[in-house]
Structure formats: structure tokens, C-alpha cells
A and B are shown apart, each in its own frame.
Chain A
Amino acid sequence: MTTATLPDTHADRGPGWFRRNRRTLAPWLFLAPGVVFFLFYVVFPVFQSFQISFYRWDGLSDPQYVGLANYRELATDRAFEVSVWNNFKWLLLYLLAIPGGLFIALFLNQTVTGIRVYKSLFFFPFVISQVVVGLVFTWFYDPTFGLLNTMLQGIGFGPVNVLGDPTLATYGIIAAGLWPQVAYCMILFLTGLNAVDPEQVEAARLDGARGVRMLWYIILPQLRPATFIAFVVTIIGALRSFDLISIMTNGGPFGSTRVLSFYMFEKALSEYGFRMGYGAAIAVVLFLIMLCFIAYFLWSMWRQEQGR
């Protein structure tokens, strides 16, 4: 750089090159700590997991390269198949949180005395840890004393052992997961409804729009940002489901409630020997499913960025 040889005309001291380039350097200095942390704990591990999935490794001895053997084993693994199907059940049924949350938000979007307290109490389940939600629902479903069966008996039905029945258990856990998720979506929609343009609503009312038609043509288009976020957090929540399964059934009965995230954990860190490579292969499959959604989310966000 030729300018570096010119005498420094600034009165204040300090490294001249740094001062002149500070506006290009500053962002990198501010970014450095965060980026380094994020690279080492999040970005690199994603690629390492891809690599580990080609090895047989118990976590202690030297990893042994096995090529695609782990993936070939997945193709014939019944438990893996069950997990994938359960993941799709979770994805599909978890989306019910969006209409559910909208419904409660519409119900509570009034100004009567004490409504603020009601809103926060309805939101309450989201703040509780999933571990406690799992415990609470395990007792709720309990066949001998659970509230659910007490109520069912009240209207003349026999006891149902929800979590002990392989055909029902997954749905029971999803219902428990929906409880906090509906609360989350509700708060998103309440905020969205707050910002709905009252003039448009009045104008539509004058034109005779009411009820469902009003909701569909006037309100929902204005709730789009809230709906998008509700969609994002619900999809992520569905694919991350682990705590509830681990607490409520630990994968059982007969492995019927496993999902990929749980099965991966079980394989990689089970008592019957660590199978890190196989676990990583399961994680890669889960990641690829998630990647479809991540790509869609990023694309939507990118379009918004361009729109500004």
C-alpha cells in the first residue's frame, strides 16, 4: 500500500493502518467471539456428524471406516422405520397447534375485566419445562388414578391405559406436546390480532362480511407474519421432540413411541454399548428432513430481506 508511507497527518497517535481501516475491521472484531463459538459448537459438529456416520465407533477405541454400512443397516432396521413414521405423525398432528392457538386467541381477544390475567394463565403451560409437562401428563393418563380415566369413568367408559398401549401411546405424547405448543401459537396470534387494522375490519363489516368469511378474507391475510412464525416454531418443536418421549414412555411400549431424535440418542448412548456411527447416521437423516424446512424458512426470510 503506497499510502502507508505518507506521514500521518492526524494529531492523535495509534496504529495508522488500523485507524484508517477501522470501519472495515470493526465488524469482524465484533463478530469474532460469537462466530468462533458458533463455528466450534454448531457448524463444525454438523459436518463431523456426517463424517462419523461413515464409521463404526464406540466412542473409546479408534473409529473404523465402514463406508455406507450404517445407512444400509438403517434400510432394514424396523425400529428406524417406526421412528420415521412417528416423526411424520408428530409433524402432521403438531400442526394442529396453529388452528388451536388461533381458536383460543380469538376466544380471548376481548376487553373484559381480568382478561390480561386470563391470557397469561392460558399461556402458562409454555413456560413450564417439558420434563414437568411430561410428568404431569403421565399422571393425567395414569390408568388407576389419572384424571383422564376418572373423567372417563364419570361418563361410563372403562379405563384406558394410554401410555401402555402401543397404538395410542404416541398420540398421547403428541397431545401432551400440543398443550404448551398451542399456548405458544396463541400468544403469537394474540399479538397479531392486536395489530390488525381496525379500519379494514370496519370497512369489511359495512360490506356485510362477518364470522368465518371475515376471518378468512380480512383477518388471516393480516396474520401472515404470526402464522409464519407459528409454523416455523411448530415444525422445529415437532422434530425436536425428545424430552416428552424420554420422560413419558422412554420409547416404549415395545419401542412404539420412538422418534428419530430419541432413537438416535438411544443408539449412541445406550447401556448396551455406544454406537456413535450408527447414531450419527440417524441424526443425518433427521437433519436432512429438517433441511427441507430450513431451506424453506431461509428462502422466505431472504425474500423479506430483499423486500426492505
Chain B
Amino acid sequence: MFPRPIQQASRGAQISYQSLIPVALILWLAPLIAVAIFSIKPDTDFTTGNYWSWPSRFEGAANYGKVFFESDMPRYLMNSVLITVPTVIGAVALSCMTGFALGVYKFRGNLWLFFMFVAGNFVPFQILMVPVRDLTLDLGLYNTKTGLVLFHIAFQTGFCTLFMRNFIRALPFELIEAARVEGVAEWRIFWFVVLPLMKPAIAALSVLIFTFIWNDYFWAVVLTQGAESQPVTAGITSFNAQYRAAYHLMSAGSIVAALPPVAMFFMMQRHFIAGLTLGAVK
């Protein structure tokens, strides 16, 4: 293990290490902790300039209540859910198939197709912006959640295919060979042999894509406008315009907007990290 385990160090070093970690953590998360404190302060604290002292009253319930019951926030959250969940399902479904095709079959152009997906995944969004916006307008899907979902599915298929294909490559190929010898149809091999083995990959990809799409801002601004279709990342800016200088409400709103992926991360931590670090170890 590197660095040398702290247990082998002197007692003093151990104690200072143990006390250093929480201090480092508080410094690391300081900007966030500040926002969390803001979000439970009453507005009088801001008008009297009492920014950094202890909250004069605990107003968390009232602040968050306002966010949930007196603003468009619930609608934006709902939009985010309606955009994110179909995208996750669509992108994972498509990439299970493409990953299977590229991982299992040997045919001319296999590697080229694979590299097309990989390269597309690295492309800067801006080169797609004008044509995709135009295409969405032509399809009559501008300013709809469907328009956003379709694009997200297509774009995420690149990353998901890379992920799935490499995962399938690592599966024992003898299983597929055995099934073929038995005369099992190809789609049945996919459905009954390979898909059950891909459950960990599907779980990892689902949490990752959920986070990516929930946090998307660029495409939300390019393809939608207004509370009826915008997700929460874009909605938070209109929310802030509405409550300009009401820092307690803006803080509470930001925390609400950030929370779902955070919750997802803490619930599915193992899958999330397995997905992110795929390929970090040979």
C-alpha cells in the first residue's frame, strides 16, 4: 500500500492525521457549507448584514417551504425527472444492443463504428448546436421535453456504447459459443445469456447518465425555454431572477436543485464509482 499505512507511524502522527482529515474536509466543502447555512437563515439576517454569524432564527422550514410551494421549482423538478428518466432508459437500451453487436461479433468496420461512437462522445457540444436546434425545430419538438430527450439519448449512446462494449468484451466468450452450438437464436443469446450478465454495467451506467443529464445546462438552454419544459438547471436561473438578492431563498433553491443526483450518488455509490473509474485499472 502506498503511502505507508498510518498505523505504522508514531502515535502522534496518527492523531494529527485523524484530526487533519475533518479540517481538510471542512475547508474543501466550505463554499457549500456556506450556502447550506444561508439557506436556513431568515431574510432579516441579510438586511442587517448579519451574513456570517449564527442564524438569529432557524428559518429552514419556511425557506424550503417557499421553494416547494410558492415557486415554479416543483415544475422544474418534475420536468427534470421527465427528461432524465426516459433518457436513461433509452440510452441504456440502445447501448446494450450496440455494445453487444460491437463486443460479440467480428465483422468488417467493427472497430471503425466503435471509434465513431467514441469520437462523437468527445466532440464539443457547440459544433452540434446549430444543426441540432434546426433539426429539433423541423421535427416540431423545439421547447418540448421530447426534443431534449431524443437528443440526449442519441448523444449519450456514444459514451454508453464505449462502456457496454468494453464490459461485454470482458465477459467469458465461451458462454456465447456454447449457446451458439446449442443453436440458440442470436437475439435469445442477447436476451437470456448476455443481458443478465450486464446487470452491474446497466446499474453503473444508469446512475452515471442520470447525473449527467440531470446536471445538463447547455442543451436545456438551447432546446427549451419557459417553465413548461425547462429542467431545474435552467429553471434555477429564472428562480434566482425572481428572488434577486433573497439569498436565503436562492440558497435553498440551489440545494433543492442539486439534491437528486447527490441522493442518487449516496444510494448507488458503489455502482457510480465503478462506472466512473472503468478503465482506470488495467
Contacts and interface: CB of A to CB of B under 8 A. Distances in A.
Contact of A34 (B2, B122, B161): B161
Nearest to A201: B2
A27 B102 CA distance: 7
Contacts of B281: 191-192, 194-195, 225-226
Interface stretch (A65-73, A90-98, A157-165, A276-284): A276-284
Given A30-B100, A41-B150, A128-B258, A287 B127 contact: yes
Contacts of A37: 94, 150, 153-154, 157
Given A40-B154, A139-B34, A150 B52 contact: yes
Contact of A219 (B2, B237, B280): B2
B30 A147 contact: yes
B215 interface: yes
A298 interface: yes
B35 interface: yes
B257 A48 contact: no
Interface in A214-234: 214-215, 218-219, 225-226, 229, 232
A152 interface: no
Interface stretch (B17-25, B57-65, B66-74, B198-206): B17-25
Interface string A249-271: 00000000000110011001100
Chain B interface secondary structure, helix, strand, loop or mixed? helix
Contacts of B257: 129, 131-132
A261 B102 contact: no
B3 interface: yes
A269 B258 CA distance: 27
Interface residues of B, number: 98
Given A30-B98, A127-B265, A187-B273, A196 B127 contact: no
What secondary structure prevails in chain A residues at the interface with B? helix
Given A109-B1, A229-B280, A31 B21 contact: no
A232 B126 CA distance: 19
B123 interface: yes
Interface string B178-189: 000000011100
B236 A45 contact: no
Contacts of A198: 1
A276 to B, nearest CB: 5
A121 B31 contact: no
Interface string B1-37: 1110111000000000110011011001111101100
Interface stretch (A1-9, A110-118, A166-174): A110-118
B32 A136 contact: yes
B132 A41 contact: yes
Contacts of A31: 97-98, 101-102, 113
Nearest to A243: B217
A42 B219 CA distance: 13
Contact of A188 (B35, B134, B264, B277): B277
B105 A42 contact: no
24 contacts: A23-B105, A26-B101, A27-B104, A27-B107, A27-B110, A34-B98, A37-B150, A38-B117, A46-B123, A49-B129, A108-B21, A110-B6, A111-B7, A129-B233, A130-B217, A135-B35, A145-B52, A226-B280, A229-B280, A240-B124, A265-B222, A283-B129, A297-B122, A298-B118
A-B complex: 3 closest residue pairs judged by Cβ atoms: A41-B154, A129-B215, A45-B131
Given A129-B217, A242-B218, 4 more contacts: A41-B154, A45-B127, A242-B126, A287-B123
